[in-house]
Chains A and B, each alone.
Chain A
Amino acid sequence: MDEHESPELTEEEKQLFADLMPDDLAEIMNTGVNRRHFLKLLTLAGGGILAAQSAVAERVLTRPSRETLPVELAPSSLENGVDIGLKVNGKAHKLTIDSRMTLLDTLRERLNLTGSKKGCDHGQCGACTVIVNGSRVLSCLTLAASCEGKTVQTIEGLAQGNRLHPMQEAFLKHDGFQCGFCTPGQICSAVALLDEAKKGHTSYVTGNVRQPGGPVKLSNEEIRERMSGNICRCGAYPNIVAAIQEVHSGKPVEQVFRSA
């Protein structure tokens, strides 16, 4: 994007500026500052550190940058291009993609939805978990070409505006993460898991699979088994189980801290 076309600062960004450099604000605003300049200044001011202390900074810095929107490739430049139409987080998209493109790469590289993470890219870690037509799947082992007409929900589509999904709230409350890289996949997986339990799905640790379906009350052991496709390298498992159990049971779950 051309620098001259950079949008002006939002109210939120102006507020952050005021917080960080109150003395310079008037002067800077009067000389006119565009967003790219603002981001540069923020970097110089150590925005990353400030983000930890300022709620406004955190919101501004974690928002997808409007300056890095991918450039659409002309269909003619693709070998074995495939035309697809799919709906992601309620929004319809039409794309021409290379036949080799996975759903994960399409979400991240073409639709700028970088919440879904590429952990192993081989279906072993679950960081790329998204919900397709209501079922949790691994987007790294799904060809985008096979998603014609399908509905995809990613971590970006769970919150309603500023209102977090109950599972996101519970992960925050229970500290269900440390580095956070696996978290989008964990949360998408957990959201779909509770739907599976409502539908009466059974698991390998369910005592008697012959008992007829109907909503299943999940023990912590059941949650652990059903979440086994999502690896957390930081080892936040007890807190992840607590978060899911709280949303599942609808009752507060006490936090347990154990030292090794």
Chain B
Amino acid sequence: MRAFTYTRAKDATSAIKLLAENPNAKFLAGGTNLLDLMKEDVERPNALIDISELDLSEIKPIINGANQGGISLGGLGKNTDSANHLLVRQHYPLLSQAILAGASGQIRNMATNGGNLLQRTRCPYFYEVAMPCNKREPGTGCGAREGINRMHAIFGWSEHCVAVYPSDMAVALTALDATVIVRSANGQQRSIPIADFYRLPGNEPEKDTNLMHGELITAIELPKNRFAEQSYYLKVRDRASYAFALVSVAAALEIEGNTIKQARIAMGGVAHKPWRALKAEQILVGKEATEATFKRAANAEMADAKPLTHNAFKVELGNRSIVLALQMAVNGGKA
């Protein structure tokens, strides 16, 4: 690991200032991804600003504003605490499930909500510094495009990058229309809808998100919804636990009688960002919640998939996973 200076931040304001004045500095929160990448020489900060002890971990109801009636998760709250908080379990069980589907007990105890959102891809070409990777070193090419790309994207990729985004939590947050609250060096606060937070790779795969250097995620807000009764996070992976998704589906429905009033579907493991399945959602709304409807919705979404050499299986897997996740959402978590 390369040498760096370590500073324990006293408060959010000074932490943001320290980061903003050094383009090579990084915040350290849980460290579960950053330290690993530093050991691999993929991340090379010359200064770490430890924000893990800042008072930004509270989970609380939102009293006013755009997300009134929803909840706010502190940016530095631990993943374990978010998944187990009674407000989250009661009103956003989809989010609890998604967090719990990710990583291991130890890592969820360390990882923070804000840090989870900023995880980098687990593309092996990104991790291996001897390989070309436009995300790690712009202009060097994409090793995975014509390489081994079984784990890679089937939606939204570019010739410059075919990596997928790894977080489960963010997939649920995308389905639940979360807002990311950030604070910048000039003291201003900005609210970024999660749909605008992540990017497709395009010509700049080195940028995972639209967060600017010097901005700190202080909270994640979730609007009130009526999905708690009928939602499910389905994660399909090579191992039964502690593995990244081949495909995951966050499915949430609001049903009146047997008619779907609202639908939210987001997918993980298929794109450079959590993939909101808008076409599938459109088909579901106003229809009866039957297997036939679910199949039509899944087919409509997956028809746009563009698989690579080794991941054509993800198209059929995604199709079946959407149907199964919707069935489990309406059957209280049972297939």
Contact = CB atoms under 8 A, between A and B. Distances in A.
Interface of A: 79-80, 82, 99-100, 102, 121-123, 126, 129, 135-138, 141-143, 145-146, 148, 189, 192-193, 196, 199-204, 206-210, 212-213, 224-230
B31 A143 contact: yes
B28 interface: yes
A251 B259 CA distance: 49
Contact of B6 (A145, A189, A193, A226): A145
Nearest to B6: A99
A99 B239 CA distance: 35
Interface of B: 1, 3-6, 8, 28, 31-32, 35-36, 39-40, 48, 50, 52, 80, 83-84, 86, 89-90, 93, 96-97, 100-101, 103-107, 109-110, 228, 235, 239-242, 332-333
B36 A141 contact: yes
A201 B84 contact: yes
Tell which of A203, A207, A230 has the most Cβ of chain B within 10 Å.
A203
Contacts of B90: 210, 212
Contact of A209 (B1, B80, B97): B97
A135 B96 CA distance: 19
Contact of A99 (B5, B39, B93): B5
A133 to B, nearest CB: 10
Contacts of B228: 210
Main secondary structure of the interface of A (DSSP, over half): loop
A126 B106 contact: yes
Contacts of B36: 122-123, 141
B96 A137 contact: no
Contact of A123 (B84, B101, B107): B107
Contacts of B32: 123, 138, 141
A213 B86 CA distance: 8
A256 B64 CA distance: 57
A180 B119 CA distance: 33
Contacts of A146: 8, 28, 31, 50, 52
Given A136-B109, A189-B106, A226-B105, A210 B89 contact: yes
B132 to A, nearest CB: 22
B104 A229 contact: yes
Contacts of A196: 80, 105
7 tightest A-B CB contacts, nearest first: A229-B104, A228-B241, A99-B6, A228-B242, A204-B100, A135-B109, A209-B96
Nearest to A199: B84
A99 B101 CA distance: 32
Contacts of B104: 126, 228-230
A17 B101 CA distance: 55
Contacts of A141: 31-32, 35-36, 107, 110
B84 A148 contact: no
Given A138-B107, A213-B84, A143 B97 contact: no
Given A80-B6, A210-B90, A229-B104, A142 B28 contact: no
A146 B6 CA distance: 9
Nearest to B239: A228
Given A204-B101, A212-B86, A228-B242, A122 B93 contact: no
A100 B3 contact: yes
B122 to A, nearest CB: 11
Contacts of A227: 105
20 contacts: A80-B3, A99-B4, A121-B39, A123-B32, A137-B110, A141-B110, A142-B110, A143-B28, A145-B8, A145-B50, A202-B100, A204-B241, A206-B100, A209-B93, A209-B96, A210-B90, A212-B86, A228-B239, A229-B107, A229-B242
A201 B81 CA distance: 9
